[in-house]
Amino acid sequence: MVKLFFLRKGFMTLILGLEGTAWNLSAAVVSEERVIYEAESTYKPLHGGIHPREAAQHHSSELKSVVSRALRGAEGEGYSLEEIDAIAFSQGPGMGPCLRTVATAARALSISLKKPLIGVNHCIAHIEVGRWRCGTKDPVVLYVSGANSQVLAYRSGRYRILGETLDIGIGNALDKFARYLGLSHPGGPKIEELASKGTKYVYMPYVVKGMDLSFSGLTTAAKDAFDSHPEEKADICHSFQETAFAMLTEVTERAMAHCCKDDMLLAGGVGANRRLRQMLQTMCRDRGARFYVPETKYLKDNGAMIAYLGLLMLKSGDTTPIEKSEVKPNYRPDDVEVTWRAVE
Ligand code: ATP
Ligand code: FE2
């Protein structure tokens, strides 16, 4: 870590953040007070799931336009390019080709604008933007997205992973099953829609091992159930959701009990699901705990969360020299030394 003390006294800190770990390319300018402007461009696979090289190709052809739109938008709000204090980017985890494309752009901007570079962990950015938007200080976090499903809590300078998926993320499980049903990517919202029409519970494997979870057997069971009874599509979607979300709620509740924490924060794209929110909300209410979820645009991948974590890191003097800015496709949140929170 390099300590730099160059923040302009009495001025707001402004960060340009770049996100492009998978399907969404996004750039945002953020201050301590607000998201000043955000621009994005979404990669939509023609068929099947996300193809890493195609997504990277999308990001590379859209980068110039997305960054220019974010900067022009910030200018429209009265903030000039010269006022940007640092460039933050998603260093990982994510798809290698996508990460490399965005990191290259971030390095080029950092060098040409002579502003420090800040490599941020994408998972922790999901958490910090949620804490910021919801005003929760020290929550147990359920982070559920395409590639990730983790329960985390902060302790002694790190976000500790208390439980996680042993195979695929819940979002990928939903997307895979949706693809099997012939639905386009992303499948999560389409499964939610179908599930709302289901009533009957079809047996699905409930796999919780200690604090960890597994979703691949569940996905296979849902495919098998559909092969046997295609007419029960809505019931199978309902049962898939009920089982997977009950597993997630169980592990989250145990983490809250073990850590004696009374706040719970939902993060990641799957957090948009109304049934998941309802289950977590009920669990929190029954425990006398508080349930927090940010606006949907801050649940899914977005540049603002990268810029905001960059801002926290810059203010604690935590920047990334170019020679240490290599991308980390398997970057885990507990690899990160949290420099911006008091050690509790
Ligand atoms: P990460 O790199 O953090 O894993 P990601 O690339 O998967 O992020 P996110 O935007 O955090 O991106 O999450 C996308 C996932 O969220 C997809 O799997 C998508 O199907 C799922 N999703 C979005 N809306 C819903 C919904 N309403 N119900 C269930 N899943 C949803
Ligand atoms: Fe994400």
- Distance of alpha carbon 48 from the chain centroid: 22
Could you read off the pLDDT of 278-290 as tens digits, one per residue?
A: 999 999 999 999 9
Are 151 and 251 within one domain?
yes
Q: Are 227 and 258 within one domain?
A: yes
Give the largest Cα separation in the chain, rounded: 67
Domain membership of residue 310 (yes or no) is yes
Give the distance (Å) from ligand 1 centre to CA of residue 299. 8
- The pLDDT value recorded for residue 2 is 46
How do the pLDDT tens digits run along the chain, 344 residues long?
444 445 554 579 999 999 999 999 999 999 999 999 999 999 998 888 899 999 999 999 999 999 999 999 999 999 999 999 999 999 999 999 999 999 999 999 999 999 999 999 999 999 999 999 999 999 999 999 999 999 999 999 999 999 999 999 999 999 999 999 999 999 999 999 999 999 999 999 999 999 999 999 999 999 999 999 999 999 999 999 999 999 999 999 999 999 999 999 999 999 999 999 999 999 999 999 999 999 999 999 999 999 999 999 999 999 999 999 999 999 999 999 999 998 77
- Quote the Cα angle for 61-304-90, to 5°: 60
Q: Which helix (H) or strand (E) holds 91?
A: strand 86-92
Which residues form the pocket of ligand 1, taking CB atoms under 6 Å from any ligand atom?
21-23, 94, 122, 145-148, 169, 171, 174-175, 186-189, 192, 268-270, 272-273, 300-301
Number of domains in the chain: 2
Q: Which helix (H) or strand (E) holds 150?
A: strand 149-155
CATH number of the domain where residue 234 is located: 3.30.420.40
69 in Cβ contact with 58 (< 8 Å): no
Q: Whose CA is nearest to atom 10 of ligand 1?
A: 300
pLDDT tens across 155-199, in order?
999 999 999 999 999 999 999 999 999 999 999 999 999 999 999
Helix axes 170-180, 233-259, angle to 10 degrees: 180
Helix axes 303-315, 122-134, angle to 10 degrees: 90
Task: For ligand 1, pick from 174, 192, 196, 215 the residue to mutate: most ligand atoms within 8 Å of CB.
Answer: 174
Question: Distance (Å, rounded) from C-alpha 42 to C-alpha 20?
Answer: 10
Q: What number of other Cβ atoms are within 10 A of residue 171's Cβ?
A: 23
Q: Can you tell me which atom of ligand 1 is nearest the CA of 274?
A: 27
Ligand 2 centroid – CA 207 distance (Å) = 24
14 Cα: distance to centroid of ligand 2 (angstroms): 22
Can you give the residue range of the structural domain that contains 171?
Answer: 139-294
CA 143/CA 286 separation, integer angstroms: 21
Quick: pLDDT tens for 9-39: 457 999 999 999 999 999 999 999 999 999 9
Tokens of 180: 């099997």
DSSP assigned state of 165: B
Quote the CA–CA distance of 305 and 125 in Å, as a whole number.
5
What is the pLDDT, as a whole number, of residue 342? 86
Is the domain of 106 the same as that of 190? no
Residue 8: predicted pLDDT: 53
Q: Is the same domain home to 201 and 108?
A: no
Q: Tell me: do 32 and 63 sit in the same domain.
A: yes
Q: What's the pLDDT score for residue 10?
A: 56
Q: Are residues 231 and 190 in the same domain?
A: yes
Task: Identify the nearest ligand to the CA of 169 by its number.
Answer: 1
H helix intervals, the chain:
52-76, 96-113, 122-134, 170-180, 188-195, 216-228, 233-259, 274-287, 303-315
Q: Same domain, yes or no, for 248 and 147?
A: yes
For residue 66, give the 3-state DSSP assignment.
helix
Residues 149 and 225 in one domain: yes
Phi, psi (deg, nearest 5) at residue 65: -65, -40
Q: What is the pLDDT of residue 3?
A: 44
Q: Is residue 341 part of a domain?
A: no
Instruction: Give the whole-angstrom CA distance, residue 196 versus residue 310.
Output: 39
pTM for the whole structure: 0.95
